[in-house]
Amino acid sequence: MTSAQPPLPPEETLRRVLRTARLDGISLLVGSGLLAGASLLFGDLTGAGIGLLICTSGAVELRGRALLQAGQARGVGWLIASQAWLLACVLVYVLWQLNSYNPALARELIQPALRSALIEPLLAAAGLTEADMLREVRSIYLTAYMIAGALSFGFQGGLALYYRNRRAAVTAALAEREKH
């Protein structure tokens, strides 16, 4: 016999939402800020731009959290919007990467490794050619970006649903706080 757990009190739900928003918002700001900075150091303006767009998501999430702390239930909408924005940024980036695979660049990057004294005999023994390896690199590249998109869809979509599903409890907790 399974017993369903009773729903959390609204105040506890609010505490958990605030904690989640703080952790996720700060993680996004710090992580994407560091990646944007590293991209700039390497001269990758596109990567830096994407990092800054993702930073925006963290700032929006922290803004929503601040609104909730100030007793404004509209902060939940900001939390949801931050996840939708982040998901959009990631999916656009993934689609862009999937459509911009550069076989010439892949060849340029892997040829030194394929011709190394360690790898070349292994490939010959396995009967693999450079063309075989380039097909594998392309497959790995495309698969990695598809996985990144799917994971982001699951995580950001799930977090947006988490916030949405707790809107009523958060609103109730804020209304209760206002009474006192």
* Full-model pTM: 0.86
Determine, yes or no, domain membership for 158.
Answer: yes
Determine, yes or no, domain membership for 5.
Answer: no
pLDDT (0 to 100) of residue 28: 96
pLDDT more than 70, % of the chain: 99
Determine, yes or no, domain membership for 105.
Answer: yes
Inter-CA distances, 65 with 61, 109, 112, 180, Å: 6, 44, 50, 21
pLDDT tens, position by position, 162-178: 999 999 999 999 999 98
Determine, yes or no, domain membership for 2.
Answer: no
Determine, yes or no, domain membership for 145.
Answer: yes
Determine, yes or no, domain membership for 33.
Answer: yes
Report the distance separating Cα 118 and Cα 84, nearest Å. Answer: 46
Average pLDDT on 124-143 reads 92
pLDDT (0 to 100) of residue 51: 93
Q: Are 50 and 59 in contact (CB under 8 A)?
A: no
pLDDT tens, position by position, 10-60: 999 999 999 999 999 999 999 999 999 999 999 999 889 999 999 999 999
Name the band, by pLDDT with cuts 50, 70 and 90, for residue 113: confident
pLDDT tens, position by position, 95-109: 999 999 999 999 998
Average pLDDT on 80-98 reads 95
pLDDT at 2 over 70: no
The domain in which residue 64 lies consists of: 10-175
pLDDT more than 90, % of the chain: 80
Determine, yes or no, domain membership for 49.
Answer: yes
Tell me how many domains the chain contains: 1
